[in-house]
Protein backbone atom coordinates (compact mmCIF):
# COMPACT_ATOMS: atom_id res chain seq x y z
CA UNK A 1 0.00 0.00 0.00
CA UNK A 2 1.41 3.39 -0.93
CA UNK A 3 1.56 6.10 1.73
CA UNK A 4 -1.28 8.64 1.84
CA UNK A 5 -0.80 12.10 0.40
CA UNK A 6 0.46 14.69 2.90
CA UNK A 7 -0.97 18.17 3.37
CA UNK A 8 -0.08 20.39 0.39
CA UNK A 9 2.74 22.89 0.66
CA UNK A 10 2.01 26.63 0.76
CA UNK A 11 4.29 27.33 -2.21
CA UNK A 12 5.36 25.12 -5.15
CA UNK A 13 8.67 23.24 -4.98
CA UNK A 14 10.66 21.06 -7.36
CA UNK A 15 11.70 17.45 -6.76
CA UNK A 16 15.18 17.78 -8.28
CA UNK A 17 16.00 14.07 -8.38
CA UNK A 18 13.53 11.31 -9.24
CA UNK A 19 13.43 8.01 -11.13
CA UNK A 20 9.92 7.73 -12.53
CA UNK A 21 10.90 4.79 -14.71
CA UNK A 22 12.25 2.48 -11.98
CA UNK A 23 10.25 -0.35 -10.48
CA UNK A 24 10.88 -1.17 -6.83
CA UNK A 25 10.66 -4.85 -6.03
CA UNK A 26 7.15 -6.06 -6.75
CA UNK A 27 5.87 -2.50 -7.10
CA UNK A 28 5.84 -1.33 -10.73
CA UNK A 29 6.61 2.27 -11.55
CA UNK A 30 3.56 4.52 -11.35
CA UNK A 31 2.39 5.80 -14.76
CA UNK A 32 3.97 9.19 -15.42
CA UNK A 33 0.69 11.08 -15.70
CA UNK A 34 -0.49 9.67 -12.38
CA UNK A 35 2.81 10.47 -10.63
CA UNK A 36 2.83 14.04 -11.95
CA UNK A 37 -0.80 14.63 -10.96
CA UNK A 38 -0.26 13.29 -7.43
CA UNK A 39 2.83 15.48 -7.00
CA UNK A 40 1.16 18.61 -8.36
CA UNK A 41 -1.79 18.14 -6.01
CA UNK A 42 0.48 18.70 -2.99
CA UNK A 43 2.56 21.50 -4.49
CA UNK A 44 5.37 19.58 -6.18
CA UNK A 45 4.84 21.01 -9.62
CA UNK A 46 8.09 20.09 -11.38
CA UNK A 47 10.47 17.13 -11.38
CA UNK A 48 14.00 16.44 -12.64
CA UNK A 49 13.94 12.93 -14.08
CA UNK A 50 17.36 11.25 -13.77
CA UNK A 51 18.60 8.48 -16.06
CA UNK A 52 21.32 6.25 -14.58
CA UNK A 53 22.21 3.99 -17.50
CA UNK A 54 21.77 4.14 -21.26
CA UNK A 55 18.16 2.88 -21.36
CA UNK A 56 17.27 5.15 -18.43
CA UNK A 57 18.96 8.14 -20.03
CA UNK A 58 17.09 7.60 -23.29
CA UNK A 59 13.82 7.30 -21.36
CA UNK A 60 14.55 10.49 -19.40
CA UNK A 61 15.11 12.49 -22.60
CA UNK A 62 11.89 11.18 -24.15
CA UNK A 63 9.90 11.88 -20.98
CA UNK A 64 11.25 15.42 -20.64
CA UNK A 65 10.33 16.10 -24.24
CA UNK A 66 6.81 14.77 -23.63
CA UNK A 67 5.82 16.36 -20.32
CA UNK A 68 6.03 20.04 -19.49
CA UNK A 69 6.61 19.32 -15.79
CA UNK A 70 9.81 17.37 -16.45
CA UNK A 71 13.39 18.07 -17.36
CA UNK A 72 16.09 15.43 -17.56
CA UNK A 73 19.50 14.47 -16.32
CA UNK A 74 21.53 11.78 -18.08
CA UNK A 75 24.60 9.83 -16.99
CA UNK A 76 26.10 6.49 -16.13
CA UNK A 77 25.64 5.82 -12.42
CA UNK A 78 28.96 5.09 -10.70
CA UNK A 79 27.83 1.51 -10.05
CA UNK A 80 26.95 1.13 -13.72
CA UNK A 81 30.31 2.25 -15.13
CA UNK A 82 32.37 -0.83 -14.07
CA UNK A 83 29.76 -3.17 -15.57
CA UNK A 84 30.07 -1.79 -19.09
CA UNK A 85 32.01 -3.59 -21.80
CA UNK A 86 32.82 -0.29 -23.54
CA UNK A 87 32.78 2.79 -21.31
CA UNK A 88 33.95 5.07 -24.13
CA UNK A 89 31.08 4.08 -26.41
CA UNK A 90 28.54 4.56 -23.62
CA UNK A 91 29.90 8.00 -22.77
CA UNK A 92 29.67 9.06 -26.41
CA UNK A 93 25.95 8.32 -26.27
CA UNK A 94 25.53 10.08 -22.91
CA UNK A 95 27.15 13.21 -24.36
CA UNK A 96 24.95 13.02 -27.45
CA UNK A 97 21.83 12.72 -25.27
CA UNK A 98 22.97 15.55 -23.01
CA UNK A 99 23.39 17.86 -25.97
CA UNK A 100 20.33 16.76 -27.91
CA UNK A 101 17.59 18.77 -26.23
CA UNK A 102 17.26 21.93 -24.17
CA UNK A 103 15.17 20.02 -21.65
CA UNK A 104 18.20 17.91 -20.73
CA UNK A 105 19.52 20.17 -17.99
CA UNK A 106 21.95 17.93 -16.14
CA UNK A 107 24.76 15.44 -16.48
CA UNK A 108 24.17 13.08 -13.61
CA UNK A 109 24.00 11.23 -11.52
CA UNK A 110 27.68 10.51 -11.70
CA UNK A 111 30.29 10.30 -8.97
CA UNK A 112 31.72 7.61 -6.71
CA UNK A 113 30.08 4.79 -4.73
CA UNK A 114 32.29 2.74 -2.46
CA UNK A 115 29.35 0.96 -0.80
CA UNK A 116 28.30 -1.25 -3.71
CA UNK A 117 31.49 -1.20 -5.82
CA UNK A 118 34.67 -2.65 -4.37
CA UNK A 119 38.31 -1.82 -4.98
CA UNK A 120 38.34 -3.60 -8.32
CA UNK A 121 35.84 -1.16 -9.86
CA UNK A 122 36.98 2.12 -8.37
CA UNK A 123 39.43 3.12 -11.09
CA UNK A 124 36.70 2.81 -13.72
CA UNK A 125 34.30 4.76 -11.52
CA UNK A 126 36.78 7.58 -11.20
CA UNK A 127 37.49 7.64 -14.92
CA UNK A 128 33.76 7.78 -15.62
CA UNK A 129 33.30 10.56 -13.05
CA UNK A 130 36.07 12.64 -14.61
CA UNK A 131 34.60 12.18 -18.08
CA UNK A 132 31.14 13.25 -16.90
CA UNK A 133 32.60 16.37 -15.30
CA UNK A 134 34.20 17.25 -18.62
CA UNK A 135 30.92 16.72 -20.50
CA UNK A 136 29.02 18.91 -18.04
CA UNK A 137 31.55 21.71 -18.37
CA UNK A 138 31.77 21.62 -22.16
CA UNK A 139 27.98 21.47 -22.64
CA UNK A 140 27.24 23.92 -19.81
CA UNK A 141 25.03 21.43 -17.98
CA UNK A 142 24.47 21.08 -14.26
CA UNK A 143 26.58 18.32 -12.71
CA UNK A 144 24.68 15.99 -10.35
CA UNK A 145 26.93 14.01 -8.03
CA UNK A 146 26.26 10.70 -6.33
CA UNK A 147 28.57 10.27 -3.33
CA UNK A 148 28.30 7.18 -1.15
CA UNK A 149 31.08 6.45 1.32
CA UNK A 150 33.50 8.38 -0.90
CA UNK A 151 33.49 11.96 0.40
CA UNK A 152 37.23 12.61 0.32
CA UNK A 153 37.73 11.16 -3.14
CA UNK A 154 34.76 13.05 -4.59
CA UNK A 155 36.30 16.31 -3.40
CA UNK A 156 39.74 15.23 -4.65
CA UNK A 157 38.41 14.56 -8.16
CA UNK A 158 36.44 17.81 -8.20
CA UNK A 159 39.49 19.78 -7.14
CA UNK A 160 41.56 18.06 -9.81
CA UNK A 161 39.07 18.59 -12.65
CA UNK A 162 37.54 21.89 -11.55
CA UNK A 163 33.86 22.25 -10.84
CA UNK A 164 31.26 23.31 -13.41
CA UNK A 165 29.40 26.56 -12.87
CA UNK A 166 26.47 24.64 -11.36
CA UNK A 167 26.71 21.42 -9.41
CA UNK A 168 24.53 19.51 -6.97
CA UNK A 169 25.39 17.05 -4.23
CA UNK A 170 22.49 14.67 -4.75
CA UNK A 171 21.06 13.09 -1.60
CA UNK A 172 23.64 14.84 0.54
CA UNK A 173 24.93 12.28 3.03
CA UNK A 174 27.73 14.02 4.92
CA UNK A 175 28.07 16.07 8.07
CA UNK A 176 28.42 19.81 8.65
CA UNK A 177 32.14 19.71 7.82
CA UNK A 178 31.53 18.11 4.42
CA UNK A 179 28.68 20.54 3.83
CA UNK A 180 31.04 23.47 4.34
CA UNK A 181 33.65 21.88 2.05
CA UNK A 182 31.08 21.47 -0.72
CA UNK A 183 29.58 24.91 -0.20
CA UNK A 184 33.02 26.51 -0.42
CA UNK A 185 33.31 24.96 -3.88
CA UNK A 186 29.94 26.35 -5.00
CA UNK A 187 27.66 23.35 -4.46
CA UNK A 188 23.95 23.15 -4.03
CA UNK A 189 23.08 20.61 -1.32
CA UNK A 190 20.07 18.42 -2.04
CA UNK A 191 18.32 16.74 0.88
CA UNK A 192 16.16 13.63 0.60
CA UNK A 193 13.94 11.66 2.95
CA UNK A 194 17.05 10.52 4.79
CA UNK A 195 17.01 13.82 6.69
CA UNK A 196 13.93 12.51 8.54
CA UNK A 197 15.58 9.27 9.67
CA UNK A 198 16.12 8.85 13.40
CA UNK A 199 19.86 8.13 13.04
CA UNK A 200 20.56 11.13 10.76
CA UNK A 201 21.61 13.72 13.33
CA UNK A 202 24.85 14.57 11.46
CA UNK A 203 22.85 15.12 8.28
CA UNK A 204 20.48 17.46 10.08
CA UNK A 205 23.48 19.40 11.39
CA UNK A 206 24.66 19.77 7.78
CA UNK A 207 21.23 21.04 6.75
CA UNK A 208 21.30 23.58 9.56
CA UNK A 209 24.57 25.16 8.37
CA UNK A 210 23.60 25.36 4.69
CA UNK A 211 22.68 28.88 3.49
CA UNK A 212 19.06 29.22 2.44
CA UNK A 213 20.09 29.95 -1.16
CA UNK A 214 21.95 26.63 -1.49
CA UNK A 215 19.29 24.17 -0.28
CA UNK A 216 17.36 21.80 -2.57
CA UNK A 217 14.95 18.93 -1.93
CA UNK A 218 14.52 15.59 -3.67
CA UNK A 219 12.96 12.17 -3.30
CA UNK A 220 15.34 9.83 -5.17
CA UNK A 221 12.05 8.00 -5.66
CA UNK A 222 11.19 5.19 -5.56
CA UNK A 223 13.85 5.01 -2.83
CA UNK A 224 14.54 6.84 0.48
CA UNK A 225 10.93 7.28 1.58
CA UNK A 226 10.74 9.71 4.51
CA UNK A 227 9.66 8.78 8.02
CA UNK A 228 6.96 7.73 8.99
CA UNK A 229 6.67 5.75 5.74
CA UNK A 230 10.26 4.49 5.57
CA UNK A 231 10.43 1.18 3.73
CA UNK A 232 7.44 1.88 1.50
CA UNK A 233 7.65 3.07 -2.09
CA UNK A 234 8.56 6.73 -2.42
CA UNK A 235 7.11 9.26 -4.85
CA UNK A 236 7.42 12.96 -5.56
CA UNK A 237 4.07 13.54 -3.83
CA UNK A 238 5.81 12.81 -0.49
CA UNK A 239 8.22 15.75 -0.81
CA UNK A 240 6.08 17.86 1.60
CA UNK A 241 7.03 15.52 4.46
CA UNK A 242 10.71 16.13 3.85
CA UNK A 243 10.28 19.88 3.37
CA UNK A 244 8.38 20.24 6.64
CA UNK A 245 11.11 18.31 8.44
CA UNK A 246 13.74 20.56 6.85
CA UNK A 247 11.90 23.70 7.95
CA UNK A 248 11.74 22.38 11.51
CA UNK A 249 15.48 21.58 11.58
CA UNK A 250 16.44 24.98 10.19
CA UNK A 251 13.84 27.05 12.01
CA UNK A 252 12.62 28.45 8.69
CA UNK A 253 9.13 29.60 7.87
CA UNK A 254 7.68 26.84 5.71
CA UNK A 255 6.49 29.14 2.92
CA UNK A 256 9.81 30.96 2.79
CA UNK A 257 11.72 27.68 2.62
CA UNK A 258 9.48 26.42 -0.19
CA UNK A 259 9.96 29.63 -2.17
CA UNK A 260 13.72 29.41 -1.67
CA UNK A 261 13.86 25.78 -2.79
CA UNK A 262 11.84 26.63 -5.90
CA UNK A 263 14.14 29.54 -6.79
CA UNK A 264 17.28 27.60 -5.95
CA UNK A 265 16.25 24.77 -8.25
CA UNK A 266 15.73 27.20 -11.11
CA UNK A 267 19.16 28.66 -10.42
CA UNK A 268 20.70 25.20 -10.37
CA UNK A 269 18.88 23.67 -13.35
CA UNK A 270 17.56 26.65 -15.30
CA UNK A 271 14.01 27.94 -15.73
CA UNK A 272 11.49 27.97 -18.49
CA UNK A 273 9.71 24.71 -17.61
Query: CATH no. for residue 221?
Result: 3.20.20.140
In a domain, 254, yes or no: yes
Residue 195: inside a domain? yes
For residue 238, tell me if it sits in a domain. Answer: yes
H or E, element range at 72: strand 70-74
6 belongs to a structural domain: no
Dihedral sign from CA coordinates of 39, 45, 50, 56? positive
CA 10-214-99 angle, to 5 degrees, is: 100
pLDDT by residue (tens digit) across 140-165? Answer: 999 999 999 999 999 999 999 999 99
Q: Which residues contact 146 (CB under 8 A, 6 or more apart)?
A: 77, 78, 108, 109, 110, 111, 112, 113, 170, 171
- The 10s digit of each residue's pLDDT in 192-231 is 999 999 999 999 999 999 999 999 999 999 999 999 999 9
Of the listed ranges 40-44, 58-62, 98-102, 196-200, the least confidently predicted one is: 98-102
List the alpha helices (DSSP H) in the chain.
Answer: 32-41, 54-66, 87-98, 119-139, 151-161, 176-184, 201-209, 239-250, 254-269
Q: What is the mean pLDDT of residues 77-93?
A: 97
pLDDT at 252: 98
- At 9-36, the pLDDT tens digits run 999 999 999 999 998 877 788 999 999 9
What pLDDT shows up at residue 23? 87
Q: Is residue 2 part of a domain?
A: no
What is residue 225's predicted lDDT score, i.e. its pLDDT? 98
Q: Rounded to 5, what percent of the chain is helix, strand, coil?
A: 45, 20, 35
Query: How many beta carbons lie within 10 A of that of residue 96, not counting itself?
Result: 12
CA distances in angstroms from 80 to 12, 57, 87, 130, listed in the order given: 33, 12, 10, 15
pLDDT value of position 118: 86
202/173 Cα distance (integer angstroms): 9
pLDDT at position 24 is 82
Neighbouring CB atoms inside 10 A of 223's CB total: 16
For residues 27-54, give the mean pLDDT: 96
Count of domains for the chain: 1
168-193 b/e (C-beta count within 10 Å ≥ 16 → b): bbbbbbbbbebbebbbeeebbbbbbb
Residue closest to 115 by CA, chosen among 176, 157, 171, 191: 171
Answer yes or no: is 4 within a domain: no
Is 98:76 a contact under the CB 8 Å cutoff? Answer: no
Residue 77 scores a pLDDT above 80: yes
Per the domain annotation, does 48 fall within a domain? yes
Q: What is the percentage of the chain residues whose pLDDT exceeds 70?
A: 100
Stretch 173-189: mean pLDDT: 98
What's the burial of 75, exposed, middle or buried (CB within 10 Å: 0-12/13-18/19+)? buried
Structural domain contains residue 1:
no
Q: Give the C-alpha separation, 225 to 169, whole Å.
A: 18
Q: Is the pLDDT of residue 93 over 90?
A: yes
Computed over every residue of the chain, the mean pLDDT equals 97
Q: Is the pLDDT of residue 1 over 80?
A: no
Mean local confidence (pLDDT), 235-250: 98
How many alpha carbons fall within 13 Å on the CB side of residue 88? 0
Q: Which domain holds residue 151?
A: 13-269
Segment 99-122, tens digit of pLDDT: 988 999 999 999 999 998 888 899
First to last CA, the chain: 32
Amino acid sequence: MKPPAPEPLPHPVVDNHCHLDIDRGDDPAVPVEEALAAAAAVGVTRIVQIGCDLPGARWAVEAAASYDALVAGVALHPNEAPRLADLDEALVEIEALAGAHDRVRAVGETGLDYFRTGEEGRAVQEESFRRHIDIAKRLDKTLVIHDRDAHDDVLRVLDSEGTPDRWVMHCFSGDALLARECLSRGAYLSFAGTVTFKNASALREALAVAPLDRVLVETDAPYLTPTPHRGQVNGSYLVPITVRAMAAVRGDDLGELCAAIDGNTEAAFGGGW
